[in-house]
Structure 1
Amino acid sequence: MIAKDIPSLPMGDSPDLILVPATPSERIASIKLNSIAWKGPLDIDTYIERENHLLEQRLTCDGLTCWILVDRTEPEGTRTILSSCESYRKKALLAHDGKVDDVGTHGIGIPGKGYAKRMLEELSTKLDTWKMEKEARGRALFTILFSDIGKKFYAQFGWRPFVSSHLALPAAEGGGAGKTRELYAKDVESNVCNEVVLAKLRDQLQAASRKSTGAKVAIVPDYDHFVWHWAREEFFAEKKCSHRSPPVIKGAGNDDARVYCVWNRNFGEEPEDNVLYILRWVYDEPTTPEEEQKLVQAMAGILKRAQQEAHEWNLNTVEFWNPTPLLQKAVGVLDPDAQLVHREKSSISSLRWTGAEYGLGKDVEWFLNEKYTWC
């Protein structure tokens, strides 16, 4: 049963409430319950089909858990779902005192109303050890979520809001500039997810942890993340845009400047919700003013190609999260009036840190807080 369908409900502080993994049928019921918040322009049956499709992706097939808040006195199969959420096990990196460790963590997806407070109280402790048996410490030291109800609610349970900003450019005709080239899935795998790129990330975290106190963490930007995001857009395109070719162009890059970006297309209920999101940028920091100018111009050319892609798919804008100063300069080349938006309500990046209990300090810095980490 679903909470809204019954006349009386237990109190949120009832000792009989527990958070448990859903059975397959309960998972479908929770998807229906959350469909108002998450289904977008899809009907419920198609939305369920999409969620099952996403569950089969490598990022989630073994690491996704659907959690439900229920009354422990009700038998399995007839339990009333009072609230629900999903957690995604993710690979992460943790740097501290010049050492970088491979660790596990969880990303959390919560539409969250009703019994959300009780659910989060239960979830905050459950996820610390959930599916962490193979971790050196036997637990996760941090978890992440993206809040759509502002910065305060989740903070009371330990998920501290981090910088949540973005830049946007309108969709436009014109295509890329200079030596910009389109990236297909195999190009993303070889240019964005290769061992050299991941080794540079490790070096960056290691160097940062030597320069300042406090832990540094990052969600590993592996290929599976991008495949999961693409599975969402490809599913929608198949169902709603079957009259046109699939969305095979997955990003753009400039080999001379060694800068690449990965994107996906988001289709919402309203035209303004149709967005080409840049999931990840990869480039080397310039060491001279000349290198910086070359890189900024290459980025601007890539962004022009993204604007063209957005136009071709009837998307409203091109957006990317938490831009670096270099990326802000590149946007300025195309639109000097573009303003950096600091989000106060939607997609607030939040992180819960428990590393202080293990001698890793009370402060943590989140590297690569980019759209690819969203779940």
Structure 2
Amino acid sequence: MRVLRSGLVRDALLGLAVVAAAELELLTVDPGEVDGSLAGLHLLSLALLPAFTIRRVSPVGAVGVVALAFACQPLLGSAPVAVPFLALLFLLASLGWYAGTAAGALGVGLTLLAAVPSALVDGSTPADLVVNATVVVAAWGSAHLVRIATDRRVAAEVEADRAARDAVADERERISRDLHDSLGHALTLITLHAGGAREGTRQPQDRTAFEYIEHAGREALVDLHRFLELLGPGEDEAPGLAHLPQLVEGVRGQGIDVDLAVAADGLPASVETTVYRVVQEGLTNVVRHSAARRAVVEVRREPGEVRTTVRDDGHAVAPRVPSSGRGLVGLRERLGLFHGTLEYGDTPSGWLLEARIPLGGA
């Protein structure tokens, strides 16, 4: 409301200035050049005030007021003045800027219709009518075209800003996924190794040290998950199939017997990274959520797809270390980039996670 009122006040002041100019012009006109009542022309010039005041809130109404004044002018007389016509052109430009195409066409039509009585009285030639009509349409049309171009430019800037914000959000998601997949897995293994060493040692000093490491690892996992909530999930990492043996060795250190079988040569780098993350998430869940003693990891290239499975002989239990609960959700989103599928759950023989990635489906 404050902006609206401020605009009305400014337009009203502008209208007063235009009316003052029109009145001054009438006062300086030679009375011999006035055809009709000069007082009536002074009265008609006052119509410019309400027209300018409402030119933004009702541009069609503003043009209509001035058009009506022009239509009434033959009844009162005429004088060689330019301010009212210039004011009309300004209001037509306001109509083109503030109103839509249909409303603009209506305002232009009213203006041309209002000019008919004056043309009949003055005996205007067809050429005069064409010129006047061209000026009227040009005043409205040029402003309307500028407004359309401005709207498109603003829309493009808004879209560019939105794209920039989306790019930042995507980068935050990539960082989040990277932290979850790499640091989360490493911290889990550190914590579990420390816990196992603590339970297996008889030396009080060593037991205290391992207990401290285990506690620090758990705290680090909690902090990591808290930070991930601020960053959101992400993507795009470098590990591939060549890194799987090292990943498996880390899990074997937890006392879980892991068999690894890879038969998938010539995969794109992005697919290899995704397969690595599938295995990493599967083995992490085996360590965290399963009481399994044995797990099998298979990566096989089949006709038209690559299939990755992680199965174990345990069943879902309460996690032994903190978990964000977002790994499988993020993994499903990652596979969705390749139009892949992810299935997981308990089976009669244990827990199973299976991912299928169509080759060439990214």
User: Could you tell me the TM-score, scaled by structure 1's length?
Assistant: 0.22
Relative to the length of structure 2, the TM-score reads: 0.23
Higher relative contact order (CA 8 A, sep 6+): 1
The structure with more helix, counted as a fraction of residues: 2
Which of these two proteins has the greater Rg computed from alpha carbons?
2
